[in-house]
Amino acid sequence: MGGLIFYSGAGPVKKLREITVWAAKPLMSVASATRNVLGISSAENSSQDMVSIFRFEIEKLKQENEYLKKALRFKEGNNLSLKGAHSLLYSNNIGKEYLVIDQGREAEVMVGDLVVDGRGILVGKILEVGSNFSKVSFASNAGGTFEAEISPLNVRTVARGLGGRTFSLELVPADSMLHQGDLVLLSEIGYPKVLLGEVARVEKSGSAAFQEVGAVFLGRPEELSEVFILVKK
């Protein structure tokens, strides 16, 4: 897909069909030659080859359609501008987790852009950008920080990644009545309040001005085939 994922008309479908047929031609040739050696008629070969192509094409179109529907639902529900990308690779390097996606400078992706999944859960932040690919650092990686708020009380905090898909929620006043299961939402200027995590631990210590709060990362980026890059307003 290109940079922006929202479009109309038959162009993308036609292009996908052309690519599908082109990609299948070598397989068709091999299959046809093999059947001819075995004495199977050319008419039967052609019919079976076309059935295989159509099945392959239909499956690809179904996947593309589902991808676009996810993006549209998320976009309409949050009044967003998005860029779609496919996930190419997941890696875990000494406890730090990353995704490589198939959009880069040519799609105007920039270091620092935020990436979400189709449910509106924050995946992470663009760390490196190439011509046609980018590296995404998981939000929970150690050292990453995000302005956030804890719902339903809208308590402002800073979510600091600790690794292991956990966060510490810093500067939470001691008198804030938090509970396990409270949701942690992104609260950065120019971005929507997408879901970041869930409160897992709340500890108050005597007369301390702030309480210790821990949260868990809710994303499962390693299971994703597509993601969406948020375009900052």
Span 170-226, pLDDT tens digits: 999 999 999 999 999 999 888 888 999 999 999 988 788 999 999 999 988 888 888
Domain ranges of the chain: 11-78, 145-217
User: Looking at the DSSP assignment, which residues form a beta bridge with residue 201?
Assistant: 214
- Alpha-carbon radius of gyration of the chain: 23
Q: What is the mean pLDDT of the chain?
A: 77
pTM above 0.95, yes or no: no
CB count within 10 Å of CB 158 equals 15
What's residue 183's pLDDT? 95
Mind listing the pLDDT tens digit for each residue in 30-83? 444 444 544 545 555 666 666 666 565 566 455 555 544 555 455 555 556 788
Mind listing the pLDDT tens digit for each residue in 102-127? 999 999 999 999 999 988 899 999 99
Q: Is the pLDDT of residue 1 over 70?
A: no
Q: Is the pLDDT of residue 162 over 80?
A: yes
**Least confident residue range of 10-19, 135-144, 153-162:** 10-19
Residue ranges of E strands in the chain: 82-93, 96-101, 114-116, 122-129, 134-138, 145-151, 155-163, 166-173, 183-186, 195-203, 210-217, 226-230
Architecture of the CATH domain 145-217: Beta Barrel (2.40)
What's residue 16's pLDDT? 40
Q: Cis peptide leading into 152, omega within 30 of 0?
A: yes
pLDDT level of residue 9 (50, 70, 90 thresholds)? very low
Q: Is the pLDDT of residue 157 over 60?
A: yes
